[in-house]
Every structure is written in structure tokens, then in C-alpha cells.
Amino acid sequence: QTSQMVDAPMKAMKGTPTLYDRLGGQPAIDAVVDDFVANVAADKRINKFFANSNIPKLKRLLGEQICAGTGGPCTYTGRDMKTTHARMGVTERHFNALVEDLVMSLDKHKVPQKEQQELLGVLGPMKSDIVTR
Ligand code: HEM
């Protein structure tokens, strides 16, 4: 009785596409990340932060992080968000600028509103570890 009540929702979940799937898997995520990082590089509000960054490495880690955070088959191998962004002095304005750059690339790649909101729901909670002033 109880096990059936617990099993039924589990069965319903089986085959339900993850956010990772609905975003289009790794190729689609990598395309968004590519475009997103290009937007950031062109964004005078925040591009100075990335002047000395290894951009291919950053793209790889963002792709991993999004994959892992959306139910994809990846392990994030980068540093934690607090350590990574410590002493950068990122403000809420900087953070919002970066989110704007991400949304531009999600729109460009025709990611539906529902999936955009879900992705922002995954990344948004990282704000408190990234914004330090
Ligand atoms: C939700 C928002 C953000 C996410 C998910 C995010 C994620 C990441 C990740 C995964 C890395 C690579 C970590 C590593 O090197 O091990 C990284 C690096 C970096 N992030 Fe963010 N970040 C966010 C917001 C920001 C903002 C707002 C800024 C500044 C405006 C920023 C500036 C940087 C810089 C400069 C690096 C490169 C550090 C380096 O070259 O070593 N990030 N971020």
C-alpha cells in the first residue's frame, strides 16, 4: 500500500524530461554559453572583470555547471562560487548586467520562457555567494 503510493509518483517522473533535456542538451547549452560569454565580453558594464580570464576554460566550466545544475549527466569540476568570486567586488548591478546578457542569448536561441525561468531559478540562488558589495 505505502510502497505503491510512493512508487506511483516515481513512475510518473520516469521519462519526464529534465531541464537539461528541455534546453536541448549539451550542444544547445554550449551554444547559449558561447553567445552569453560573447555578450559579456562586449558589455562595458562588466567586461573588465574578465580581462585576465581564460575564456575557453570559463566556457567549459559554465557548460558543466549548467549541465550539472539542470539534471544533465555532468560533474562540475570548477571552484565553488564563493571562492571564485571572492574579492572581485561584484555588485548587484554587475550581477543584473550579467543576467541580462544571459537572457539575451537565451532569447536569441529561442529558449522558451518556462525553461528560461527554470534556469534562472537554478542560477539565481548563487547570487549571495557572488555579490560581495
Ligand atoms: C549566476 C551568475 C554567475 C555564475 C553562475 C557564474 C559562474 C562562474 C563559473 C562557473 C566560473 C568558473 C569558476 C572557476 O574558474 O573555477 C566563473 C568565473 C568567473 N566569474 Fe562568474 N558567475 C556568475 C556571475 C558573475 C558576475 C556577475 C561576475 C562579474 C561581473 C563574474 C565574474 C567572473 C570572473 C571574472 C570569473 C573568472 C575567474 C578567473 O578567470 O579565474 N561572475 N563564474
Residues with CB under 6 A from ligand 1: 46, 49-50, 53-54, 58, 61-62, 65, 78-79, 84-85, 88, 90, 94-95, 98, 123, 126, 130
DSSP letter (8 states) at residue 29: H
What is the complex's ipTM, to 2 decimals?
0.98
Low-confidence spans in the chain with pLDDT less than 50:
none
* pLDDT for res 2: 59
Q: Which atom of ligand 1 is nearest to the CA of 49?
A: 35
* pLDDT for res 45: 98
Q: Is 15 left (phi over 0), alpha (psi -120 to 50) or beta?
A: left
Backbone angles phi, psi at 101, to 5 degrees: -65, -35
* pLDDT for res 90: 98
* pLDDT for res 15: 86
Length of the chain: 133
Enumerate the domain spans of the chain. 15-130
- To test ligand 1's pocket by mutation, which of 76, 84, 100, 120 has the most ligand atoms within 8 angstroms of CB? 84
* pLDDT for res 8: 86
Taking domain 15-130, whether its CATH number is 1.10.490.10 is answered by: yes
